[in-house]
Chain A
Amino acid sequence: MSSCIFITDENLEPLISKNIKAIPNLQGILRLFKSVYTPESQPVISASSFHFVHIKRSSLLYVSVIHAYDASANVMLIATFLDQFHSLLKKYLAVSALDKNMVLDNVLLIMELIDESIDFGVIQITDASIMRDYIRVKVNMPENKTIDDLSLGDSDTDEEDNKKTKRRSGKPNLYKFLRGAKDGTHKAEHTDTAAKEDDVEDSYNSYIAKATIMPVSWRAKGIHYARNEFFLDVVEQVQYLMDFNSGIIKKNLIHGKIICKSYLSGMPKLKIAFNKLSQKDEQFISHSKFHQCVTWPSSNEKEIEFIPPDGDFVLCQYELKRHVKDQPMLKLVSFGVKPKLKKYKIQMSCTIETHFKARNSTSTLNLKIPLARLFQEYQIDLKKPARFKSDSGKVLFNISDDFLLWDIEVMKGGHGDTQLSMAAEFSLFNKKEFEEEQEELKNSMNPPPLRDGPKLEELYDQVHNEKGPSKMASRLLSMKFEIPYSTCSGLQVEYLKIDEEQLQYQSFPWVRYKTVNDEEYGYYV
């Protein structure tokens, strides 16, 4: 296995180094790595008598060194570990992206984490919820960090508050999700109870028997909650890319995740049945990955049975292909650019329609309409105001990144019968008029007419000169949306049964669905 592990910043300066096999001269090794590393080099590099496995995550580089004599080393193991370790750190520090300072602030903690997750190079655990029971070094939160940087006034933020913010940020998914879903009274209750449970968890489950050596290694014994709840969220990300002009669909995929939050006492057994399983959806069965707690239904079983870990976990990840003929949930119906050269105007219009159940509606919906090409092909006169019109929502002009943002928010579902459209009008540069004006300015004694409002043309020039000529004008009209209560694939939980033999408590399972866009969802126009 690996001989030593480094965490370095972008300049390959070591932030943390951990010597696993008592190798002398770690610095020398790192120098060697520096000499062979380039940002483009593949994840495994060999130099003199060492192999380096490195992965890059949010401005940090995780490097593991394998000695050339150590033939048993498994790169896959190491790469997976580094990847998992990164997510462990993120969970532990309760942030979405790590940076150099955060690592430097928590060196001891990270060293302990490394210590605990590997024994003699053999990986033991990388599960954050179990780790929490082992390592109780306090996390240095960003609040503390700012003291160093900005000497903030209230340095002694009280513990309680600190902890709460940590918890809160530790579960961004849940809270964002809840904020996203606006209506529904029981949702609000959701938030409260969840928050309450957090506190309860702290007081009741502070001591937990060591779980790593138990048969069910992902769950500790003696967990207790006053209110036993289980939250299950089915979140599907739809990836869709289509070339609008040629009508070729490049991508049409669903990336699904079933995210659970378990606040259950004791050792509960859960049974969950999915319609996809009972329908024997071949694709689902073969393209899903389950959490380690699930023993995969061997054959023809309709349900999965498992003992859940405590807290947050991802029960299942799946990937489904959609048929080419399946309509995208949000479809671009028309997109056009109409130059009216005589009037020195250019019009751009776009229409979208929805394809999901009529009783659902989107909670957020944004369209980014690219303008770079328009600006390249036509000489647009930004001195004259551009005009925007839309059936619903508002249109914003992002001048620095060359796009129009059409922010719709709520749009009803339907099957092609709900349509919304927008139009934008820009003025084209009128040379004749411009010359006339210049002439007039030269000859007349009047000062040039006053203009109020931002001078877009200057802004535009400023932004675009700084960047230099952009090589490729983006053609992607991307959409961002969120549709609660529906799944694109039609996946449904048929039933969810919670069973704890000894405690026999009443429990509350919550199930929700939501479909969101993937990073890649849009049309090339």
Chain B
Amino acid sequence: MSDQRIFAKYKANELRAELQVFDVKKSKTSAHKRKDALRKIIANLTMGNFTEMAFLYPEILKFWKIEDDLEVKRICHEYVRSLGSAKPKNAAEALPYILDDLDSRNEKVQIMALETLVAVPSPRFLEEATKTIISFINRRVIPPTVTKTAIYASEQIDFTENATRSHLLTLLLKFVERENTEPTLQVAALHALHTIHEKNIDLQPLRLPIDVAFKLLDLLPQLNEWDKALTLDSLTTAAVPESHDDAYEMIDIALTQLQHVNTFVALNAFKFIAYLLNYVDHVDENLIKRFSNSIVSLLNKPPEIQFLVLRNVILLLLSRDTPLLQLDVSYFFIEFNDPIYIKDTKLECLYLLANHGNLPRILEELEQYATDIDIQMSRKALRAIGNLAVKLDKESASDCVTVLLDLLEFGVDYVVQEIITVFRNILRKHPDDFTSSVKELVKYNDSVQEPESKNAMIWIITQYSCDIPNYLEVFKVFSSNILEENLEVQYSILTSSVKFFVKDPVPETEEICLQVLKICTEETNNPDLRARAFMYWSLLSMAHSSKNHIISAEAVKSVLDGELPVIELNTKLDPLVLEELELNIGSIASIYLKPVSQIFRSSRTRHLLQSPVLNKDRSNLKILSGSTSTVNLEGFDSLPEMVSHSSSDRSSSTAARKKMMNDYDKPAEKVNQLKGRRKSSVTSPSKISRKPSLLVRKLSMRKPF
């Protein structure tokens, strides 16, 4: 029977009738039809017909008693699960049956029962679930599938008592360390450990003994794809190498996974390696090559996944000074059939990748996009060119400007407007280099329509008035219909008219200035604009009144028409945030490029866990400083027993961090949160791995990061 017929809305009475009528005749067909009726219940539940279906509780319980059929059981469990969250009271009636099922011989039924127990949010269920899970994990004779479910179920539970939780944790840890079990179970246990540690703030961060970590890594080839990924994911931050050699060995093992078909596995391998790179003293060039190649091949995926990969590429490009990725720009060239979000992200990548060497290629490409039919795309491309000019040095900027001027001749309205807007930024970054182009721009005075480009145009005219002979005429075009403009433009007209006057106090400018001030104070409705106009007016009149010399004309000039600071495009994120993000490759945080605490609201405090190594080490800090060495003050790793080992690279990182803390005045909360997680670096100077002399430590401390 087609499932479509099942998916119709039914009333509880109809279904009840259907269930009962066939109760009487006990034949094979009636059992079949009963099942269909039950299916209809579930179908209605998925469609959201909760109120009607809730009436059928007694019927369901009846069936639970009499039926042995697996599918009927499934449906009963499903019913309780979906109604349980809404009506926990009713669910309690089903509890004895669920417990019955737990003792069933059929492992499928056991699993179902366990899942139902966990799914219903009520204290009694929770209690039972905790009990069952622990006993299941403890027992060795039960089938492994059930154990696995129990382990995963343990992740879901919010523990009421700390004692049970710690009991469970030790059990899980034992599981991870146990030899001769099925590898999936070990992975499940590892993942459960990881999740429970992440979920509970009061727990110390998960940290596995190094040999266990290695054992888990050795399992990798035997695991299925998802388990592989979970292992790599959980081991990031949990497996802390104790020496450079450890780190290299781990990297070697993880490298093989970079070429996995499954994007998630590849990306997790990537994350794991990126994390391990914090523990090595030098990086092989081959490694970077393989890294980059694996990323490139990930780009060849369905658009949604490609988008996620690209976001993570951006993250990586941002996070490393000597980028881990050496990517050819051509991979990020836009294709016409890319969805819009991919186009945007690719543009961002191109922007980040741009340097002196590849600029010509990128510009050529961007120029093509700028003449695209798609207006949005063309605007974005123009904006990107402008941003590049701001980002790069003067020489490269002039290349960008040439391209822009070429495009200007294209003459299409939106192109011209966008170019003018962009040009303002370029001029702010390189104030003296492109004055000759200004005349060219002013020719297009008539085609500016949008407020933003008008603003830009007015600003350019004002700033470079000395280069434009007829600047007042040009300006009058704008000032004459100030009343029809939008507020932003009105502001800039006002400011500019005052500036003209201050720069060059001749009758013409005075006339314009007065006219504009008058309009702004008398005819406009916006109080802000009026207030601003009044402010200018009184400022000017103060400077020009002969009676009181409170403020000189010079001073007014410097206030109104002062030297503007050179703008800087700030793409660098806070390094502390970047580090956190790097450990979150693939998560939502990497999409928005914001620290996890900002995206997952409310988990701000919880979030300390996200980087488990850190929050503990504040308390350990003092103890350490006395015992080992002064260098270890910051404690690269959280646990005291660790510190004695890789002190050399810690020392360099310490130095680096000290610098950082001064550089970035962040709220204390944030600093603490991310503290300790140091990327020591690719650039870390010391090559001595084990026991560096004091001298070397000192030296490495001073070296800039």
Q: Interface residues, chain A, CB within 8 Å of chain B?
A: 14, 16-17, 19, 21-24, 26-27, 40-44, 46, 49, 51, 54-57, 66, 68-77, 79-81, 83-84, 101, 104-108, 119-120, 122-127, 140, 144-145, 147-148, 210, 212-218, 255, 286-292, 295-296, 298, 314, 317, 319, 471-472
Name the one of B85, B252, B293, B373 contacting A471, with C-beta atoms under 8 angstroms.
B373
Whether B226 and A295, one on each chain, are in contact in the complex, defined by CB atoms closer than 8 angstroms, is: no
A13 to chain B, nearest CB (A): 10
Instruction: List 29 contacting pairs A-B, 8 Å CB cutoff, sorted by A.
Output: A16-B46, A22-B119, A22-B121, A43-B308, A44-B588, A68-B600, A68-B601, A71-B198, A71-B607, A71-B610, A74-B264, A75-B308, A76-B263, A79-B305, A80-B305, A81-B264, A105-B2, A108-B3, A119-B115, A119-B152, A120-B152, A122-B191, A212-B184, A213-B144, A215-B183, A286-B293, A286-B294, A290-B260, A296-B259
List CB contacts (< 8 Å) of B157-191 with chain A.
182-185, 188, 191
- Which residues of B pack against A, CB within 8 Å? 2-4, 6-7, 39, 43, 46-48, 81-82, 84-86, 115, 118-121, 144-145, 148-149, 152-153, 155-156, 182-185, 188, 191, 195, 198-199, 221-230, 233, 252, 256, 259-267, 289-290, 293-294, 296-297, 300, 302-305, 307-308, 312, 339-341, 373, 585-588, 590-592, 596, 599-603, 606-607, 610
Known contacts A43-B307, A80-B262, A80-B305; is A296 also within 8 Å of B226 by CB? no
Q: Assess whether B297 is in contact with A289, with CB atoms less than 8 Å apart.
A: yes
Q: Is the beta-carbon distance between A120 and B156 smaller than 8 angstroms?
A: yes
Q: Are B261 and A22 in contact (CB under 8 A)?
A: no
- Asked whether, in the complex, the Cβ of A125 is within 8 Å of the Cβ of B226, the reply is yes
Contacts A68-B600, A104-B7, A107-B3; A75 near B591 (Cβ below 8 A): yes
Distance between Cα atoms of A27 and B47 in the complex (Å) = 8
Bound-complex Cα distance A69 to B252 (A): 35
Q: Which residues of A contact B599 (CB under 8 A)?
A: 46, 68
User: Apart from A74-B264, A471-B373, what 12 extra A-B contacts exist at CB < 8 Å?
Assistant: A24-B85, A26-B48, A46-B588, A71-B610, A75-B588, A80-B263, A105-B2, A107-B7, A107-B43, A122-B152, A148-B4, A289-B259
A210 to B182 alpha-carbon distance, docked (Å): 12
Q: Cβ of A295 and Cβ of B601 under 8 Å apart? A: no
B601 to chain A, nearest CB (A): 6
**A23→B120 CA distance, assembly (Å):** 10
Nearest CB on B from A303, distance (A)? 15
Select from chain A the residue with minimum beta-carbon distance to B82.
A19
Given contacts A23-B85, A123-B226, A286-B290, contact A292 B3 (CB under 8 A): no
B224 and A108 contacting across the interface, CB-CB below 8 Å: no
A146 to chain B, nearest CB (A): 10
Known A83-B304, A317-B261: A19·B2 in contact at CB below 8 Å: no
Give Cα A474 to B239, complex, Å. Answer: 55
| Contact A19–B81 (Cβ < 8 Å) | yes
3 residue pairs, one from A and one from B, having the closest CB atoms: A76-B586, A42-B341, A217-B224
On whether A217 and B223 interact (CB within 8 A), knowing A68-B601, A72-B198, the answer reads yes
Q: With the chains together, A27 CA to B50 CA distance in Å? A: 11
Give bound CA distance, A255 to B293, whole Å: 15
CB distance from B317 to the nearest CB of A (A): 17
Closest to B265 in A: A292
Of A23, A119, A214, A317, chain B has the most CB atoms within 10 Å of the CB of: A119
**Are A218 and B602 within 8 A (Cβ)?**
no
State the CA gap A76–B610 with chains docked (Å): 17
Which A residues are CB-close (under 8 A) to B229?
A: 77
Is B2 a contact of A295 with CB atoms below 8 Å? no
Check A289–B260 contact: CB distance below 8 A. Answer: yes
Q: Are B85 and A295 in contact (CB under 8 A)?
A: no
CA distance A234 to B289 in the complex (A): 26
- A-B contacts at CB below 8 angstroms, number: 205
Q: Which residues of B contact A21 (CB under 8 A)?
A: 156
Q: Separation in Å of the B658 CB from the closest CB of chain A?
A: 29
Q: Which residues of chain A have C-beta atoms less than 8 A from B185's C-beta?
A: 213
B194 (CB) vs chain A CBs: closest residue: A72
How far is A57 from B341 in the complex, measured between Cα atoms in Å?
17
Task: Please indicate the chain B residues that have their CB under 8 angstroms from the CB of A46 in the complex.
Answer: 588, 592, 599
The reply to whether A298 and B600 form a contact with Cβ atoms under 8 Å apart is no
Q: Which residues of B contact A288 (CB under 8 A)?
A: 259
Chain A residues whose CB sits within 8 angstroms of the CB of B373 once the complex forms: 471-472
Asked if A40 and B340 make an inter-chain contact with CB atoms under 8 angstroms apart, the answer reads yes
Out of B155, B261, B304, B587, which one reaches A74, CB within 8 Å? B587
**Which of A42, A71, A210 has most chain B Cβ within 10 Å?**
A71
B588 and A66 form a contact (CB under 8 A):
yes
* Interface pair A213/B261, CB less than 8 Å apart: no
Chain B residues near A69: list those with CB within 8 A: 600-603
Q: How far is the CA of A295 from the CA of B256 in the complex (A)?
A: 7
A79 vs B587: C-alpha distance when bound (angstroms): 11
Assess whether B591 is in contact with A44, with CB atoms less than 8 Å apart. Answer: yes
Contacts of A292 in B (CB 8 A): 224-225, 228, 260-262, 265
Determine the distance from Cα of A216 to Cα of B228 in the docked complex, in whole angstroms.
Answer: 13
Is there contact, CB below 8 Å, between A213 and B182? yes
**Please, which residues of chain A bring their CB within 8 A of the CB of B228?**
292
Closest to B266 in A: A289
In this complex, what residue of A is CB-closest to B292?
A286
Whether B84 and A41, one on each chain, are in contact in the complex, defined by CB atoms closer than 8 angstroms, is no
Q: Which residues of A contact B153 (CB under 8 A)?
A: 120
With A74-B233, A79-B304, A122-B191 already in contact, the answer to whether A106 and B259 are too (CB < 8 A) is no
Q: Contact: B305 with A215, CB < 8 Å?
A: no
B441: min CB distance to chain A, Å: 31
Q: Which residues of B contact A40 (CB under 8 A)?
A: 339-341
Chain B residues lying within 8 Å of A55, measured Cβ to Cβ, are 302, 304-305
Closest to B262 in A: A80
Measured CA separation A108–B7 after assembly (Å):
11
Question: What is the CA–CA distance of A471 and B303 in the complex, to the nearest angstrom?
Answer: 25
In Å, the complex CA distance between A66 and B596 comes to 14
Chain B minimum-CB-distance residue to A299: B252
Which residues on the A side are within 8 Å of B265 (C-beta)? 292
A61 vs B3: C-alpha distance when bound (angstroms) = 20
Q: Closest Cβ of chain A: how far from B119's Cβ, in Å?
A: 5
- What is the minimal beta-carbon distance from A332 to any residue of chain B, in angstroms? 21
**Residues of B close to A19: CB separation below 8 A:** 81-82, 85
Q: Which residue of B lies closest to A56 (CB)?
A: B304
Which chain A residues lie closer than 8 Å to B86 at the CB level? 24
Inside 8 A of A127's CB, which chain B residues have their CB?
224
| Chain B residues whose CB sits within 8 angstroms of the CB of A107 once the complex forms | 3, 6-7, 43, 46
Which among A75, A101, A123, A317 has the greatest number of chain B C-beta atoms within 10 A? A75
A215 to B219, CA, bound (A): 9
Inside 8 A of B587's CB, which chain A residues have their CB?
72-76
Residues B221 and A295 in contact, CB atoms below 8 Å apart? yes
Choice from B82, B182, B252, B304 contacting A214 with Cβ under 8 Å: B182
CB-defined contacts of A26 to chain B, threshold 8 Å: 48
Query: CA of A27 to CA of B44 in the docked complex: distance in angstroms?
Result: 13
In angstroms, how far is the closest chain B Cβ from the Cβ of A307?
Answer: 10
Nearest CB on A from B238, distance (A): 13
Q: What's the least CB distance linking B603 to chain A, in Å?
A: 5
Residues of A within 8 A of B3 (CB): 104-108, 140
Bound-state CA distance A66–B589 (Å) is: 13
What chain A residues lie within 8 Å of B259 (beta carbons)?
A: 288-290, 296
A218 vs B221: C-alpha distance in the bound complex, in angstroms?
A: 12
B144 to chain A, nearest CB (A): 5
State whether A319 and B588 are in contact (beta carbons under 8 Å apart), knowing that A24-B86, A74-B233, A119-B148 are contacts in the complex: no
Check if B293 sits within 8 Å of A287, measured CB to CB: yes
Asked if residues A145 and B2 are in contact (CB atoms below 8 Å), the reply is yes
Most buried by A among B46, B84, B145, B307: B46
Checking B84, B144, B198, B588 against A51 with a beta-carbon cut-off of 8 angstroms, the contacting residue is B588
Q: How far is the CA of A73 from the CA of B586 in the complex (A)?
A: 9
Contact of A76 among B120, B156, B308, B600 (CB under 8 A): B308
The CA-CA distance from A120 to B293 in the complex, in Å, is: 34
With A40-B341, A43-B341 as contacts: A210 and B145 at CB distance below 8 Å: yes
- Name A22's contact: one of B81, B221, B252, B610 (CB within 8 Å): B81
